[in-house]
């Protein structure tokens, strides 16, 4: 099993931290993981991403090539992932197929923020989950900054669309949060994760 | 040839001989060269302070002056050109209990090693630096150095030197050295005292030693050994006297003695190891 | 079951150094290696070790050798431009036999190059960067787990042979997080070697008299009675300069021999599906990870590809490469440079099979499908 995930958003939305928490959760679960990031000039201004590869055995190639899941946190990040837009990851892609995501497998899980992202993907091609991620962070938790962790909650539930049970358990995520965020923010982030699980479940029922 | 005098007899008379690696002598230095005077002064200073061979490390770079550690019976490191202070920093920080002397030249310390010089001074690490200022690159045959006087001849200034000089003491003070002194190879006993105080001082101590490069600099500038030593006698004056001189009479005169001494600033190794004590929970 | 923990490559290097007994770090910040220094700054004071940020990489390398003479296991880490600056004092460390570890997290060069992107351009410089003849062990791990193993191994060999050891990483390895099976790094589960001490009384002590293993037992500076001299000049057993031609020749021969004779013990490679391979890929570090995936992809297409991943880059696994070359129809050497290690592979394979290259120096890594394409092309070429 090799499972590739990307968390992508605008700078400041904590995409890399979310990727680190996700990879740490995988390790807690007893799975192997790599987490890589793209830096510097290669990055289009404003967009930032964290990639995670998860496997039940040691990982050969550590970077992502064919994503099984994407968490998209903003419109510019969405645009960046869509074929035909000026994307950095695959300079060869052409103008056509405007609603196909680059380097994403058919059948992949696509998690988007329903308020922030105008998503025009073909739902026969992807398993799309739209949820009020940023709104939940702002209104329920009072901190918009934790939307990245809310998104991980949604992701945790949504993996049941691809597997019999969630790829990574809630407990592993909660432990990963304890290990990855400064101690004074642990409770906030745990709550954010659990709220994410809730809205994830609601979104799945809708879908 | 008479019978050799037994070592114990020599040490009885000249106790600083115990610091010499006599089997490595004669030294490579030319007749009349001032480096030997500075070396002797350093040995006498150590002896008077009662520091044993096993308590001293001596580090140097590359140059005639940097050959000194080879003749010193302690823990000695002859390193790369200009970098002596970096090796000495690593050694001293790891073994603060070792009295650590650095022998260096004007080119070694101020040209290639200028960056290390100002940073070691800035840190105020407890090193005693004996800087042999002979106004020239002696070892490589007499090229111009950052302290070659204006107008003087070197192999790379065949028409006379037109670059300004570093005032070593002022560089050291500005960079943060807490003990700065100047002596000469002519004023041997005074030099011993300056080095002694430098070793006693807890912090970065710089002793600039005006020293004749008799063969290379002397020849190029048509000065005999005697003339060079005489020049130091005539043109340097004790700092106390120098301070009393009116500005216009100071021109051409170089002050000798302790030019700067500040005991108030903390020493680097002490600061570091205190921090370690705090962090590793006492002891 | 494995005890998995996610670790950041550069931090793993620092943590493993501490496990190996490192108690002195001097460095100068440079991307993509700075996190090693930052981690050391955090860990060392708590372990009664020394951390110091020096004024440049030349100074850092000097301080490391100074501390090594004081008896501490010492390390510095840098990248491209800084590695160039360290070269003179690295040569000094080799000449005076000061054990130390120099980490180079490779980025794109030459010059300032591509500070935040990976390269594998110091394969040759690691060995030949400083002037004069020498043989320096160079290890290159391929994942974060191995960063820890190789850091410990680098310290062990440095101490055992009294030599600098270069540890090569690359930007991808240094800057990625990966699960590590930490069980293997629990106390007592890994070997730590220390330098040998003189076994003669002070009167008989000659710091540079080598033992049977060609390694001298130099006492840490400050050991009462065991005073000594060290110089970068050619020297005799006392450590004092000499120009005696026999002594000078013997010194250089011994310095190289002491490393070379341990080559079989130091050699470390990973072989993947090499048993029946017709096309062998030989490479290291991050590129080897892409190559491993490429081997699987090629086999899916019916091409018998295999991988030899080199971990001990120097001293060269000459014999092993020669044997590989004799057993396959072609070799491919993909690397993030314009063709460095391929020269060594060509030399060692002695014409037994054609050797192909896949090179790149633009900061982008080589992806598995690119290696696959090259392998397919070689397969199509009949040989
Ligand atoms: C990197 C390097 N550059 C140049 C040299 C050549 N070199 C040896 S000694 C020296 C100058 C020494 O001058 P100074 O420090 O004043 O010492 P002196 O010989 O005058 O005592 C030079 C340039 C060297 N050994 N290493
Ligand atoms: S060249 Fe000059 S400095 Fe060097 S030993 Fe001779 S006199 Fe002294
Ligand atoms: Mg000089």
Q: Where are the alpha helices (DSSP H) in C2-56?
A: 9-19, 34-43
Q: What pLDDT, on the 0 to 100 scale, is given for residue A119?
A: 87
CB contact at 8 A, C302 and C353: no
A57 touches chain C (CB under 8 A): no
Longest CA span, chain B: 65
The DSSP call for residue A138 is: I
Strands (E), A59-175: 67-72, 104-113, 127-131
Q: What pLDDT, on the 0 to 100 scale, is given for residue A83?
A: 66
Burial A66-81 (b: 16+ CB within 10 A, else e): ebbbbbbbbebbbbbb
Q: What pLDDT, on the 0 to 100 scale, is given for residue B107?
A: 98
Q: What pLDDT, on the 0 to 100 scale, is given for residue A65?
A: 92
Q: Do A40 and C116 touch (CB under 8 A)?
A: yes
List of residues 6+ apart from B4 with CB closer than 8 A:
none
For residue C93, what is the enclosing H or E element? Answer: helix C80-96
List of residues 6+ apart from C113 with CB closer than 8 A:
C80, C107, C119
Residue B282 pLDDT level (bands cut at 50, 70, 90): low
For residue A50, what is the enclosing H or E element? Answer: strand A47-55
Distances (CA, A) of C340 to C119, C139, C158, C288, C295: 12, 16, 25, 15, 22
Q: Do C289 and A24 touch (CB under 8 A)?
A: no
Beta bridge partners of A50: A7, A37
Burial C18-49 (b: 16+ CB within 10 A, else e): bbbbbbbbbbbebbbbbbbbbbbeebbbebeb
C228 touches chain B (CB under 8 A): yes
**d(Cα A99, Cα C303) in Å, to the nearest integer?**
36
Residue nearest to atom 8 of ligand 2 (CA): B33
Q: What pLDDT, on the 0 to 100 scale, is given for residue A98?
A: 42
List of residues 6+ apart from A83 with CB closer than 8 A:
A90, A93, A94, A96, A97, A98, A99, A100, A101, A102
CB atoms within 10 A of CB A125: 16
CB contact at 8 A, A57 and A13: no
Residues with CB under 6 A from ligand 1: B 62-65, 81, 105-108, 132, 134, 136-140, 145
Total residues found in chain B within this entry? 283
Beta bridge partners of C72: none
List of residues 6+ apart from B125 with CB closer than 8 A:
B89, B92, B93, B203, B204, B267, B268, B269
**d(Cα C46, Cα C85) in Å, to the nearest integer?**
30
Residue B11 pLDDT level (bands cut at 50, 70, 90): confident
The DSSP call for residue A85 is: S
**d(Cα C337, Cα C15) in Å, to the nearest integer?**
29
Q: What is the 3-state secondary structure (H, E, C) of chain B?
A: CCCCCCHHHHHHHCHHHHHECHHHCCCCCCCCCCHHHHHHHHHHHHHHCCCCHHHEEEEECCCCHHHHHHHECCEEEECCCCCHHHHHHHHHHHCCCCEEEEEEEHHHHHHHCHHHHHHHHHHCCCCEEEEEECCCECCCCCECCCCCCCCCCECCECCCCCCCCCCHHHHHHHHCCCEEEEEECCCHHHHHHHHHHHHHCCCCEEEEEECCCHHHHHHHCCCCHHHHHHHHHHHEEEHHHHHHCCHHHHCCCEEEEEEEECCCCCCHHHHHHHHHHHHCCCC
Distances (CA, A) of C328 to B96, C64, C331, C353: 58, 44, 7, 7
Look at residue C305 and give its three-state secondary structure: strand
Query: Considering only CB atoms, which residues of chain C are within 8 Å of chain A?
Result: 1-2, 4-6, 115-117, 143, 145, 172, 175-179, 286, 289-290, 292-293, 296, 363, 365, 367-369
Specify whether the backbone of A12 is left (phi greater than 0), alpha (psi in -120 to 50) or beta. Answer: left
Q: What pLDDT, on the 0 to 100 scale, is given for residue A44?
A: 54
Look at residue C331 and give its three-state secondary structure: strand
CA neighbor of B132 nearest in space, from B37, B263, B202? B37
For residue C145, what is the enclosing H or E element? Answer: helix C144-161
**The pair of three-digit structure tokens given for residue C366, joined into one six-digit string:** 């080589």
List of residues 6+ apart from C138 with CB closer than 8 A:
C126, C127, C165, C166, C167, C168, C312, C313, C314
List of residues 6+ apart from A39 with CB closer than 8 A:
C116, C117, C175
Q: Do B94 and C24 touch (CB under 8 A)?
A: yes
| Mutation for testing the C interface, residue in A27, A57, A90, A181 having most C CBs under 10 Å | A27
Q: In Å, how far is C46's CA from the nearest CA of chain B?
A: 5
* pTM (two decimals): 0.95
**d(Cα B90, Cα C72) in Å, to the nearest integer?**
10
Total residues found in chain A within this entry? 207
Q: Which of residues 8-47 of A touch C (CB under 8 A)?
A: 20, 23-24, 26-27, 30-37, 39-42
Structural domains present in chain A? 2-202 (3.40.920.10)
User: Which ligand approaches the C-alpha of residue B103 most closely?
Assistant: 1
**The pair of three-digit structure tokens given for residue A38, joined into one six-digit string:** 């793209």
Nearest to A30 among C1, C116, C143 (CB): C1
User: Which ligand approaches the C-alpha of residue B141 most closely?
Assistant: 2
**d(Cα B128, Cα C158) in Å, to the nearest integer?**
31
B76 pLDDT more than 80: yes
Distances (CA, A) of C265 to B74, C136, C285: 37, 15, 21
Structural domains present in chain C? 4-185 (3.40.50.970), 268-379 (3.40.50.920)
Q: What pLDDT, on the 0 to 100 scale, is given for residue A94?
A: 44
CB contact at 8 A, B65 and B47: no
**The pair of three-digit structure tokens given for residue B112, joined into one six-digit string:** 């290639």
Q: In B, which residues are within 8 Å of C228 by CB distance?
A: 75-76
Structural domains present in chain B? 32-242+254-279 (3.40.50.970)
The fraction of chain B above a pLDDT of 70, given in percent, is: 98
Give residue for tokens 């002797």: B40
| Mutation for testing the C interface, residue in B87, B95, B119, B269 having most C CBs under 10 Å | B87
**d(Cα C87, Cα C62) in Å, to the nearest integer?**
11
Hey, which of B25, B32, B33 would you mutate to test ligand 2's pocket, going by the most ligand atoms within 8 Å of its Cβ? B33
Q: What pLDDT, on the 0 to 100 scale, is given for residue A95?
A: 44
**d(Cα C254, Cα C248) in Å, to the nearest integer?**
10
CB contact at 8 A, B71 and B24: yes
Tell me how far the alpha carbon of residue B231 lies from the centroid of ligand 1, in angstroms. 25
Beta bridge partners of C269: C310
The DSSP code sequence of C48-73 is T-EEEE-SSHHHHHHHHHHHHHTT-E
Q: What pLDDT, on the 0 to 100 scale, is given for residue A86?
A: 43
Look at residue C165 and give its three-state secondary structure: strand
Q: What pLDDT, on the 0 to 100 scale, is given for residue A80?
A: 85
**d(Cα A133, Cα A122) in Å, to the nearest integer?**
21
Alpha-carbon Rg for chain C in angstroms: 21
In this prediction the ipTM stands at 0.95
Q: Averaged over B256-274, what is the pLDDT?
A: 98
For every one of its 383 residues, what pLDDT tens digit does chain C have, with 9 covering 90 and above?
Answer: 689 999 999 999 999 999 999 999 999 999 999 999 999 999 999 999 999 999 999 999 999 999 999 999 999 999 999 999 999 999 999 999 999 999 999 999 999 999 999 999 999 999 999 999 999 999 999 999 999 999 999 999 999 999 999 999 999 999 999 999 999 999 999 999 999 999 999 999 999 999 999 999 999 999 999 999 999 999 999 999 999 999 999 999 999 999 999 999 999 999 999 999 999 999 999 999 999 999 999 999 999 999 999 999 999 999 999 999 999 999 999 999 999 999 999 999 999 999 999 999 999 999 999 999 999 999 998 54
Specify whether the backbone of C357 is left (phi greater than 0), alpha (psi in -120 to 50) or beta. Answer: beta
Q: In C, which residues are within 8 Å of A63 by CB distance?
A: 172, 365, 367
- pLDDT lower than 70: segments of chain A: 38-45, 83-99, 207
For chains B and C, what is the number of CB pairs under 8 angstroms?
137
Closest ligand 1 atom to B105 CA: 15
**d(Cα B243, Cα B235) in Å, to the nearest integer?**
15
Give residue for tokens 């086999």: C299
**The pair of three-digit structure tokens given for residue B179, joined into one six-digit string:** 């003990």
CB contact at 8 A, B184 and B194: no
Q: Averaged over B106-112, what is the pLDDT?
A: 98
């Amino acid at each position: 099993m090799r499972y590739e995930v990307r968390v992508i958003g605008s700078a400041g939305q904590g995409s890399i931290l979310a990727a680190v928490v996700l990879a740490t959760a995988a390790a807690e679960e007893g799975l192997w993981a790599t987490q890589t990031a793209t830096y510097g000039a290669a990055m289009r201004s404003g967009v930032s991403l964290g990639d995670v590869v998860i496997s039940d055995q040691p990982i050969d190639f550590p970077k992502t090539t064919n994503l099984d899941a994407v968490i998209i946190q903003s419109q510019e990040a969405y645009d960046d992932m869509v074929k035909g837009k000026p994307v950095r990851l695959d300079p060869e892609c052409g103008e056509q197929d405007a609603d196909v995501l680059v380097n994403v497998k058919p059948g992949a899980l696509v998690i988007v923020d329903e308020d922030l992202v105008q998503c025009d993907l073909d739902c026969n091609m992807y398993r799309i989950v739209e949820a009020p991620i940023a709104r939940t962070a702002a209104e329920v938790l009072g901190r918009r900054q934790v939307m990245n962790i809310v998104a991980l909650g949604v992701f945790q539930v949504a993996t049941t669309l691809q597997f019999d049970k969630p790829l990574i358990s809630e407990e592993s995520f909660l432990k990963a949060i304890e290990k990855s965020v400064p101690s004074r923010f642990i409770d906030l982030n745990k709550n954010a994760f659990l709220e994410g699980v809730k809205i994830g479940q609601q979104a799945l029922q809708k879908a | 040839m008479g019978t050799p005098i037994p070592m114990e007899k020599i040490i009885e008379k000249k106790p600083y001989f115990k610091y010499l690696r006599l089997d490595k002598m004669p030294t490579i230095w030319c007749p009349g060269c001032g480096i030997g005077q500075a070396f002797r002064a350093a040995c006498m200073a150590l002896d008077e302070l009662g520091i044993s061979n096993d308590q001293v490390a001596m580090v140097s770079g590359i140059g005639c002056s940097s050959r000194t550690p080879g003749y010193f019976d302690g823990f000695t490191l002859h390193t790369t050109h200009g970098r002596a202070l970096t090796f000495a920093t690593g050694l001293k920080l790891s073994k603060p209990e070792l009295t650590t002397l650095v022998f260096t030249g004007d080119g070694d310390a101020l040209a290639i090693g200028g960056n290390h010089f100002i940073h070691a001074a800035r840190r105020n690490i407890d090193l005693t630096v004996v800087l042999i200022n002979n106004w020239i690159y002696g070892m490589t045959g007499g090229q111009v150095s950052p302290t070659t006087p204006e107008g003087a001849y070197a192999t790379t200034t065949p028409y006379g030197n037109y670059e300004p000089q570093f005032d070593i003491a002022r560089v050291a003070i500005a960079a943060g050295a807490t003990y700065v002194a100047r002596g000469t190879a002519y004023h041997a006993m005074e030099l011993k005292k300056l080095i002694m105080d430098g070793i006693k001082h807890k912090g970065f101590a710089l002793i600039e030693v005006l020293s004749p490069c008799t063969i290379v600099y002397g020849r190029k500038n048509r000065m005999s050994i005697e003339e060079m030593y005489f020049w130091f006698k005539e043109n340097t004056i004790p700092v106390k006297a120098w301070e009393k001189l009116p500005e216009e009479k100071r021109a051409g005169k170089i002050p000798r003695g302790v030019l700067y001494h500040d005991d108030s600033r903390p020493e680097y190794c002490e600061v570091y190891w205190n921090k370690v004590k705090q962090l590793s929970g006492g002891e | 079951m494995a005890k998995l923990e996610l670790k950041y490559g550069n931090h793993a290097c620092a943590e493993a150094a501490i496990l190996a007994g490192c108690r002195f770090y001097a460095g100068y910040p440079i991307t993509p290696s700075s996190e090693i220094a930052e981690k050391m700054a955090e860990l060392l004071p708590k372990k009664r070790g020394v951390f110091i940020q020096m004024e440049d990489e030349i100074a850092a390398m000097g301080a490391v050798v100074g501390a090594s003479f004081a008896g501490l296991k010492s390390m510095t880490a840098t990248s491209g431009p800084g590695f160039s600056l360290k070269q003179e004092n690295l040569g000094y460390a080799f000449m005076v036999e000061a054990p130390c570890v120099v980490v180079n997290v490779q980025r794109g060069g030459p010059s300032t190059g591509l500070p935040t992107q990976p390269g594998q351009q110091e394969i040759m410089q690691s060995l030949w960067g400083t002037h004069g003849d020498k043989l320096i062990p160079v290890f290159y791990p391929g994942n974060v787990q191995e960063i820890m193993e190789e850091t410990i191994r680098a310290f062990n060999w440095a101490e055992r042979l009294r030599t600098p050891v270069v540890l090569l990483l690359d930007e991808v390895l240094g800057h990625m997080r990966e699960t590590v099976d930490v069980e293997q790094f629990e106390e007592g589960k890994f070997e730590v070697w220390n330098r040998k001490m003189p076994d003669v009384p002070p009167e008989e002590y000659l710091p540079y008299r080598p033992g049977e293993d060609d390694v001298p037992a130099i006492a840490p500076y400050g050991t009462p009675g065991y005073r000594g001299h060290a110089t970068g000049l050619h020297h005799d057993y006392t450590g004092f300069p000499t120009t005696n031609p026999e002594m000078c020749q013997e010194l250089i021969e011994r310095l190289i021999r002491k490393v070379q004779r341990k080559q079989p013990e130091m050699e470390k490679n990973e072989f993947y599906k090499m048993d029946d391979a017709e096309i062998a890929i030989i490479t290291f570090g991050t590129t080897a990870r892409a190559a491993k995936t490429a081997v699987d992809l090629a086999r899916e297409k019916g091409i018998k590809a295999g991988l030899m991943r080199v971990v001990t880059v120097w001293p060269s696994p000459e014999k092993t490469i020669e044997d590989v070359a004799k057993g396959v129809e072609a070799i491919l050497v993909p690397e993030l440079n314009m063709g460095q290690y391929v020269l060594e592979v060509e030399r060692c394979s002695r014409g037994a099979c054609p050797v192909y290259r896949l090179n790149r120096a633009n900061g982008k890594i080589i992806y598995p499908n690119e290696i696959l394409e090259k392998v397919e092309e070689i397969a199509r070429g009949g040989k």
